[in-house]
Amino acid sequence: MVDLDADGRELSRSVVAPEEFPAHVSERERSAPTRWVWHDSSRRYPALLAAGVRVARCHDLRLVHRILLGLEGTDPTARQRDDVWAGEGVPAPDAGQALFDLVAPTGPTAAIEETLAEFARQRDALGRARAGLHLLVAAESAGALLAVEMHTAGLPWDARAHEAVLDAELGSRPTVGARPARLEALARRLREELDDPGLNPDSPTKLLRALHRQGLPVESTGRGELAAVDHPAVATLLEYKRLARLWTANGWAWLDEWVAGGRFRPVYIPAGVVTGRWASAGGGALQIPRGLRVAVRADPGWRLVVADVAQLEPRVLCAMAQDTALAEAARGRDLYEGIVADGAVTSREDAKLALLGAMYGATTGESGRLMPRLRLTYPRAMGLVDAAARRGEDGEAVSTLLGRTSPVPDGTWLRTQARATEADAAASEIARARREARDRGRFTRNFVVQGTAAEWALTWLADLRGRLARMPAARVDATRSGPVFSRHAHIAFFLHDEVIVHCPEEHVGEVSAAVRAAADAAGRLLFGDFPVDFPLDARVADSAAKA
DNA sequence: AAGGGACGCGCG
DNA sequence: AAAGCGCGCGTCCCTT
């Protein structure tokens, strides 16, 4: 382990045996503010939490490396170091290399030197970067810690409530290999209604053929298209699809695999999405269906504080663009109603449609039709996303408010564009280049908004995490949360613009206040005094189901 | 038998 | 209704 001062100068070195590492970290955390610098929080932190040791701050070299790679002027050799610093990482060595767990290309003995060199490069790059990037790096690293903490604590999950949903929807649990009773009944009815005795409704190919034999004008078996045609089998099929989805995605097998000891423990992957949004692996944590939220239940004596931000992305867009007209429409009320009041559109539904279209790049249909009106009323906000789209179409990179950059186009894309400008380019080649350019424009258009919204949410989360950590211990244990979280309010779930805090009943007031204070802080940190607010829908409940 | 692409659908 | 963005994951179905 190496001690550094605030300027990154080396103070001392020591070797700490792995079994002594948690106690060592715990001692440091108590005695002085410490920022742990390590390769990968997802590999280093679980063992600390398992030993009951929580870390306040870190610098996650792997995640920061990925952010810095996109900066202009980045050392071109940085990309050669990608495999080591930004890749999936490598198993930590068992040897007592302590803090720095990197296995460098030149072998384990060089790990600390490599780690120090990477940290120095990152400090150097950050020293030249604007303030926003420092905030992003701090928030990203806090998120890396939180992702491990949420996995360790888990989301309180009541298997009996889940089973009650399955029983009500699907019938009793079937034997292995068989469909649940209600699903099998629907399949039988479907075979009759489509006059196809051998039909397997799970096969899109066979299903489509059966629908065509009935004379139905559908090109796919998708829900949307089906709902638009008139046939007795449609209602049956839609119900079959709904239940089949519940069964295969979140049925008894899911419960057996992913819920243990009253907790659902997904793996969170910070910045797993190019925009900086989090991804998850295992159990589909980011796709928990609404109907199963009744199974998210606080422990006895504990409660859930469930909070989400209303219309996060449009608010972020308006602040990022410094669009005071849109900010005025958003202030203290439903943003979409504000747009109606401005006379840009005539209904709330149209306002939502138009704004989503602006952020996603809709060109056709209702949404595309409404956008010109929006451009007239909110030229700054619309100008920002339009400019991002143009840059993307031109093959340039865009960046979020704090400085996360979009990926650059790959060689195939560039060649397609170049080919289209040559004198002998075929019409089809030109059309293809044009289509791919527009595709990329929609991506960069959305990138700046989605990515900045992710930064707001990450800042909110990081700030909230700190506030919760400073709260006192509870009287009632939630023993299933593990040693670090059994007596302290903790973030149990995060999904883009929503957070669920699991906390002792006696702390719900403080926690609710902390959730709001953190949202206010995030707004100020990103947008300073610009007059936009981020209203929360927050509630205290035993379950995460919508009230 | 395993791998991968397409599809479909859940979430924001 | 879907559309226009970003995902994960289960199933089918074809290739190797």
Q: For A275-292, how does the pLDDT look when each residue is reduced to its tens digit (9 = 90+)?
A: 999 999 989 999 999 999
Is A413 within 7 A of strand C by CB distance?
Answer: no
Q: Within A342-426, where are the H helices?
A: 348-360, 365-377, 379-393, 411-420
Say what the pLDDT of residue A187 is: 95
Distance CA A300 to C1' B3 in A: 46
Residue A414 near residue A466 (C-beta atoms within 8 A): no
How many angstroms separate the CA of A455 from the C1' of C16?
44
Mean pLDDT by 10 residues, chain A (547 residues): 88 87 92 88 94 95 92 57 52 33 43 88 93 96 97 96 96 90 94 94 93 92 90 94 95 95 95 95 92 96 96 96 96 90 93 93 86 92 97 96 94 93 94 94 96 98 97 83 90 96 96 98 97 95 88
Residues of A 28-87 whose CB lies less than 7 Å from any atom of strand C: none
Domain A160-255: which CATH class?
mainly alpha
Structure tokens at A384: 């920002």
Q: How far is the CA of A341 from the C1' of C12 (A)?
A: 50
What are residue A303's DSSP bridge partners? A503
Q: How far is the CA of A503 from the C1' of B12 (A)?
A: 25
Instruction: State residue A84's pLDDT score.
Output: 60
Please identify residues in chain A, positions 36-55, with a C-beta within 7 angstroms of any atom of strand B. none
Contact A194, A214 (CB under 8 A): yes
Q: Indicate the SS3 state at residue A10.
A: strand
What's the Å distance between residue A295 CA and nucleotide C14 C1'?
39
In this structure, is the CB of residue A220 within 7 Å of any atom belonging to strand B? yes
Instruction: Give, as one character, the DSSP assignment of residue A479.
Output: G
Closest amino acid to nucleotide C8 (CA–C1'): A284
Tens digits of residue pLDDT in A310-330: 999 999 999 999 999 999 999
Chain A residues 136-195 within 7 Å (CB) of strand C: none
- Phi/psi class of residue A52: alpha, beta or left (left: φ > 0; alpha: ψ in -120 to 50)? left
Which three-class secondary structure state does DSSP give residue A378?
Answer: coil
Q: Taking the complete model, does pTM exceed 0.85, yes or no?
A: yes
Residue A173, helix vs strand vs coil: coil
* CATH class for the region spanning A313-450: mainly alpha
The sign of the dihedral angle between the CA atoms of A525, A528, A529, A531 is: negative
- The SS3 of residue A223 is helix
Q: Which nucleotides of B are covered by protein (CB under 7 A)?
A: 7-12
CATH topology classification for A261-310+454-541: Alpha-Beta Plaits (3.30.70)
**Spans of all domains in chain A:** 2-69+72-128, 160-255, 261-310+454-541, 313-450
* Fold matches, A160-255 and A261-310+454-541: no
